[in-house]
Structure 1
């Protein structure tokens, strides 16, 4: 959801092959054309029901939730698109939400030693301010794990952009209906 471009749909279509189905959605897909093995549809993740609810093994949103006004509803829409039974991690179902959190690295150039580095940091700050004024939440990247745990999901994990060796990124799964128990805390590399 919120495909934005063709690279992810192309990669997913190649992975699932002709027997699979890949749907790329975006609020403004007019510039996207369906490619080999994937379909394109218009979809507003905060206003529309999930397309084909309960049918997908993988739902992916990259840098979408930081920009939408009703992030909680958008996250619920993403989750509702997963097929029933996706609470079993072994079932091969994944909700993959990639978001930015610019507060975790406040500088573009950590070695702010010269005018070019200072300008890069100033430009980064200006872009962040502009995005914030337009409604983006640049600190949202740390929010989905907590929101999913509060909604009853288990095995919720958050990783940085470079998971450490031996500690691969893990997915999120729903708790089966009617079960109880603590949710797993987010882990960090």
Structure 2
């Protein structure tokens, strides 16, 4: 992850496990989006906010030995610990503080669950577009957390989950996170001159004891203190949800993950963009 305002720092003991469960839950959706964006053998890819390296590993398999993947993060401890293929270059870099890497262009620029956490998301998106080679693709994936408000006195496990989930969204919002950024990504890409803009929306059930439920349990556990300190959810509800997320009988619906991509126009005759 990039940016100094990011709430989930890599130093937390359970952060690697949290990222791993996140990657497991959304692995199929991410692979569908990457393939739809047109990654080809021999391509060069930049994975921004690479976390535990799962997407970087996926990209390396698609580009093959002739391709190249740069896994970028401001804290690379989890990337260093990962068993990544040889064509993945791990690079410690903060794209917020350091700006875009100078003189480099990539066929694919990818960022999953990065921009929504950054107050500087508009400027960072400009940098990602700049890093995309003409004819290449920018691919973003973010949640869209807009859902009906939960009851003030939740009675079911799903209602309790949503109350705590919304408390997490409120805590993250206080750090500059925009939980609805996924909704606006296609228009944000088009506004920057990208063409062939498209998007897919993925979701699914969260069942207790699964990787998805463990991701949310660890997320809620990580933010329990600020949730309680800010009075965003009662302590007994938070504790009950943490337990229910381990129960195989628990089930609720995930928030949707939006993946959007667009292509940077290739220059046409006399330096004009083609198309």
TM-score range, shorter chain: 0.7 to 0.9
Question: TM-score when scaled to structure 2?
Answer: 0.53
Q: Which runs of 4+ in 1 moved over 6 A?
A: none
Seen in structure 2, the aligned counterparts of structure 1 residues 17 and 57 have a Cα distance that, compared at 3 Å, is same
Give secondary structure in 2 for the equivalent of 1:12: helix
Q: How does 1:108-147 map to 2 (within 5 A)?
A: 114-147=155-188
Over the residues paired in the alignment, what is the CA RMSD in angstroms? Answer: 2.7
What is the TM-score normalised by the length of structure 1?
0.74
Asked whether 1:98 is paired with 2:128, we answer: no
Per the TM alignment, residue 74 of structure 1 is displaced from its structure 2 partner at its CA by 0.8
Q: Which residues of 2 match residues 72-91 of structure 1 at below 5 A?
A: 72-83=122-133, 85-86=134-135
Structure 1 residue 32 and structure 2 residue 79: aligned? yes
1:51 to 101, 108, 113: 101
The number of residues matched between the two structures is: 164
State the shift of 1:26 in Å. 1.0
Considering Cα pairs closer than 8 Å and 6+ residues apart, tell me whether 1 or 2 has the greater RCO: 2
Q: 1:15 aligns with which of 32, 49, 62?
A: 62
| Structure 1, gaps ≥5 residues long | 87-92, 163-168, 182-189
Q: Is the 8 A contact 1:98 1:141 kept in 2?
A: yes
Given the alignment, which residue of 200, 213, 219 partners 1:159? 200
* Aligned-pair CA distance for 1:113: 8.5
Structure showing the higher strand proportion among its residues: 2
Structure with greater proportional helix content? 2
* Contact 1:53 1:80 survives alignment (8 Å): no
Give the counterpart of 1:4 among 46, 51, 59: 51
* Residues 53 and 159 of structure 1, relative CA distance in 2, 3 Å threshold: farther
Looking at CA atoms only, which structure, 1 or 2, has the larger radius of gyration? 2
Q: Note if contact 1:3-1:25 (Cα within 8 Å) is conserved in structure 2.
A: yes
Instruction: Give the structure 1 partner of residue 191 of structure 2.
Output: 150
**Separation of aligned partners in 1, 2:168 and 2:260:** 31
